[in-house]
């Protein structure tokens, strides 16, 4: 019995029972680890497999939900920080005072984002590449009309994945455009030291401030486009193979 067979068993709510629930997880775990309970360990191992299978599936879903929730919170936090920074670009009085305050706020935003990336970078890296492979391979779930829960699960988590990517990309684009326009103003540009202006301009061009996965990529609209293209390309191949 594979994982999809397990879901079929659990979806038969009219015939659901605790014994059937435990048996389904035990059979799933035996298939996963190639365990023959009758010859290798004896019948007594069956209850242990039921408990281990249930716990394993529980932690699997907790891990997936934690990654989604953690990255969603980090993305919304980054978006909020960028929005606050953009709103403060024109809130000061004198040009030199404005430039000094804005550059200080930018350095603070960059520092907080770097700290955030050090904390979530490995999670984001693993999450993105795991989801790219998962949604490419699992596209066939949408064609299974006998399992509406699998279809709903696929659409729901894909929508959440896309929301995280587009929100992070929007915040990064907003920062680059608004701060770039502020620096393009002659009065502001003249109030910023030339060396600092050169560094900041290069950082905006290279997407220095944004959600990053181990420094290997930063979530921008270009990255989102690449992710969607990857999912669609491999999804089409997999659908053709399964026809």
Q: What is the pLDDT of residues 206-239, one digit of tens each?
A: 998 999 998 889 999 999 999 999 888 888 887 7
Using alpha carbons, select from 199, 200, 197, 208 the residue that is nearest to residue 114: 208
Q: What are phi and psi of 203, to 5 degrees?
A: -65, -40
Over the chain, what is the mean pLDDT? 78
38 to 2, 21, 46, 95: CA distances (angstroms) = 19, 20, 9, 81
The CA distance from 77 to 30, in Å, is 42
Instruction: Output the pLDDT for position 93.
Output: 45
% of the chain residues with pLDDT over 90: 28
Residue 13 pLDDT greater than 50, yes or no: no
Using alpha carbons, select from 132, 208, 137 the residue that is nearest to residue 164: 132
The CA distance from 8 to 27, in Å, is 13
Residue 132 pLDDT greater than 70, yes or no: yes
Global pTM reads 0.72
pLDDT category of residue 115 using cuts at 50, 70 and 90: very high
On whether the CB atoms of residues 176 and 85 are closer than 8 A, the answer is: no
Q: Report how far Cα 222 is from the mean position of its chain's Cα atoms.
A: 16
Q: Which two tokens stand for residue 208?
A: 């220095």
Cβ partners under 8 Å of residue 53, min gap 6: 25, 26, 28, 29
pLDDT category of residue 44 using cuts at 50, 70 and 90: low
% of the chain residues with pLDDT over 70: 68
On whether the CB atoms of residues 150 and 202 are closer than 8 A, the answer is: no
pLDDT category of residue 10 using cuts at 50, 70 and 90: very low
Query: What tens digit of pLDDT does each residue of 47-75 get?
Result: 676 677 666 666 666 666 677 888 889 99
On whether the CB atoms of residues 95 and 188 are closer than 8 A, the answer is: yes
Instruction: Output the pLDDT for position 26.
Output: 67
- Residue 132 is classified by DSSP as H
CB neighbours of residue 144 within 10 Å: 12
Instruction: Output the pLDDT for position 91.
Output: 55
Instruction: Output the pLDDT for position 175.
Output: 94
The CA distance from 119 to 160, in Å, is 21
Name the residue ranges covered by the structural domains of the chain. Answer: 62-242
pLDDT top residue among 156 and 55: 156
Q: Would you say how long the chain is, in residues? A: 243
On whether the CB atoms of residues 11 and 151 are closer than 8 A, the answer is: no
DSSP assignment string, 23-88? HHHHHHHHHHHT--IIIII-TTHHHHHHHHHHHHHHHHHHHHHHHHHHHHHHHHHHHHHHHHHHHT
Average pLDDT over residues 179-198: 87
43 to 32, 38, 52, 127: CA distances (angstroms) = 18, 6, 15, 39
Residue 160 pLDDT greater than 50, yes or no: yes
pLDDT category of residue 3 using cuts at 50, 70 and 90: very low
Which of the given ranges, 9-23, 72-86, 138-152, has the highest pLDDT on average?
Answer: 72-86
Q: Report how far Cα 212 is from the mean position of its chain's Cα atoms.
A: 11
């Amino acid at each position: 019995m594979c994982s999809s067979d397990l879901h079929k068993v659990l979806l038969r709510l009219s015939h659901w029972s605790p014994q059937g629930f435990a048996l389904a997880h035990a059979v799933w775990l035996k298939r996963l680890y190639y365990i023959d309970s009758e010859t290798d360990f004896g019948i007594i191992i069956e209850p242990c497999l039921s408990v281990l299978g249930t716990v394993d599936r529980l932690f699997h879903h907790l891990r997936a939900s934690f990654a989604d929730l953690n990255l969603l919170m980090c993305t919304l936090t980054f978006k909020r920080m960028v929005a606050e920074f953009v709103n403060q670009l024109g809130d000061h009085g004198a040009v030199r005072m404005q430039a000094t305050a804005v550059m200080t706020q930018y350095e603070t935003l960059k520092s907080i984002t770097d700290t955030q990336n050090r904390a979530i970078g490995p999670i984001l890296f693993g999450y993105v590449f795991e989801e790219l492979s998962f949604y490419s391979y699992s596209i066939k779930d949408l064609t299974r009309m006998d399992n509406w829960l699998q279809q709903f699960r696929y659409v729901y988590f894909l929508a959440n994945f896309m929301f995280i990517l587009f929100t992070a990309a929007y915040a990064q684009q907003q920062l680059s455009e608004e701060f770039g326009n502020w620096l393009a103003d002659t009065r502001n540009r003249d109030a910023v030291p030339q060396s600092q202006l050169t560094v900041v301009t290069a950082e905006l061009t290279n997407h220095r401030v944004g959600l990053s996965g181990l420094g290997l990529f930063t979530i921008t609209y270009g990255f989102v486009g690449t992710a969607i293209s990857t999912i669609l390309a491999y999804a089409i191949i997999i659908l053709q193979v399964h026809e």
